Amino acid sequence: MSGTQLPAEHHPAHPSWPVFGHEWAVEYLQGALEAGHGEARRRGPRHAYLFLGPAQIGKSTLVRAFAQALLCTGDGTRPCGQCRSCRLMSSGNHPDFRLVQPVTTGGEIDRAGGMLRVEQASAVIHDAALSPVEGRYRVFAIQDAHRANDSFSNKLLKTLEEPPEGVVICLTAADRGSLLPTIISRCEVLELRPLPVAKAKAALAAGWGVTAERAELLARLCNGRLGWAVRQLGDEAAETQRLDMLQELWRLAAASRVERLDFASAAAAQRENQQLFAMLEAWGTWWRDVFLAQNGCLDAISNVDQRAEIDRQAGALPEASVRRFLDTLQRVERYLHHTVNTRLAMDVLLLELPRLPA
């Protein structure tokens, strides 16, 4: 997510915020910022915010931008991008900004498998008691609050409810369901929504200088998560990986049961969880495209570079089997996040895969 930090010269959502999209949230936070300046009857920033939304949608980018604006010491519109505070913020060395990320038991940062632990909560409480070093605020960004263990959350409650003056705590999380209600009720909740395709495309073109064709494809594939698209840009192997994944899928669709089960066992045994989910996501996008094509919505598809193949498969397959597979795929994906036998789940999924005539 941190990869979506923009070069300073592009400020599409708000003249000075280094964020694309989420205009309403930026405007809202900017309002809180300006209220903090002067006028007594309007309130300044709240003590705690909770940013909700799927991974890589831009939560942490927004938190950083908000922190930069809060800590900015420049005159006029904040963040100014010029002052010492803004410079420290972009080099990641601002002493009043503290990022808290899930860690393994050994203390290594691990956002996929780590947790927010109780020692980190103690450190936050301790640091929150200190007054700001350079500015007027101390900003804590607690990333992936859905990966907090209960003792972390409970330890933080008192500070989250009534932090010392000048402390702003920003939490990010995937969804409400995975947080303690006591955490949610102590925060102002901002639910970020996926970026529309047109905006994502414009952002990719303006911020990263992506060609129109590629921007179109990535904007459609990313499902409104700009961070995902940006990561694909940075990863040179990503494009060939995606094509390999699709070709494998086509091969499997035409393959016998034995081959499919072979693949299922290999997938369950070898792959890293994250890779497995990335593959399932790509599959979902593909069959959704086929389903859209079958229903005469070829314009809405994501894999725009594979239009001909989508059209061919749409013609060759019965609509009911594609829909059934999409249902199964969703269910299996959900189960896999909990404790199921990966091998069995993959077997079921592969057997349900629509059969293309060879």
Partner 1 sequence: MRVSCLQENLAKGLSIVGRAVATRSTLPVLGNILLEAKDGELRLAATNLEIGVNCWIGAKVEDEGAITVPARLLAEFVNSLPAERIDMELAVRTQTLHLRCARIEANMKGIDAADFPIIPTAGGGHEIEESTEILEGTRIELEPAGLRKMIDQVAFAASTDESRPTLTGVEVSFNPERLSMAATDGYRLSVRSIVLDKASVKEPMTVIVPARSLGELARISADADEERPVQVIVTQSRNQALFQIWGKPEARSSFHRVELVSQLIDARFPDYRAIIPKTHTTRTVVDTAALLKAVRVAFLFARDNANIIRLAVVPGNGEKEGQVRLTASSQEMGDNVNELDALVEGTDLEIAFNARYLIDVLSQIDQPQVVIETTQSTRPGAIRPVGLGEEEFLHVVMPMHPPR
* Least distance from partner 1 to the Cβ atom of residue 104, Å: 15
Please give the Cα distance from 202 to 213 (Å, whole number): 12
Among 112, 130, 198, 297, binds partner 1 (CB under 8 A): 130
Contact by Cβ (8 Å): 168, 43: no
* Least distance from partner 1 to the Cβ atom of residue 133, Å: 5
Nearer to partner 1, 31 or 164 (CB): 164
Residue 93 interacts with partner 1 (CB under 8 A): yes or no: yes
Nearer to partner 1, 126 or 324 (CB): 126
* Least distance from partner 1 to the Cβ atom of residue 270, Å: 35
Residue 131 interacts with partner 1 (CB under 8 A): yes or no: yes
Q: What are phi and psi of 171, to 5 degrees?
A: -110, 145
* Least distance from partner 1 to the Cβ atom of residue 51, Å: 19
Please give the Cα distance from 205 to 10 (Å, whole number): 11
Token pair in block for residue 282: 């790509």
Residue 164 interacts with partner 1 (CB under 8 A): yes or no: yes
What distances in angstroms separate CA 202 from CA 12, 57, 199, 208, 273, one per listed residue? Answer: 10, 16, 5, 10, 32
CA atoms within 13 A on the CB side of 295: 11
Residue 129 interacts with partner 1 (CB under 8 A): yes or no: yes
Among 7, 31, 95, 315, binds partner 1 (CB under 8 A): 95
User: What are the DSSP E strand ranges found in the chain?
Assistant: 48-52, 97-100, 138-142, 167-173, 188-191
Cα dihedral 218, 220, 223, 226, rounded to 10, equals 40
Among 98, 136, 231, 323, binds partner 1 (CB under 8 A): 98
Residue 158 interacts with partner 1 (CB under 8 A): yes or no: no
Token pair in block for residue 196: 């529309």
* Least distance from partner 1 to the Cβ atom of residue 68, Å: 15
* Least distance from partner 1 to the Cβ atom of residue 4, Å: 20
Residues that bind partner 1 (CB under 8 A): 84, 87-88, 91-95, 98-100, 122, 126-127, 129-131, 133-134, 164
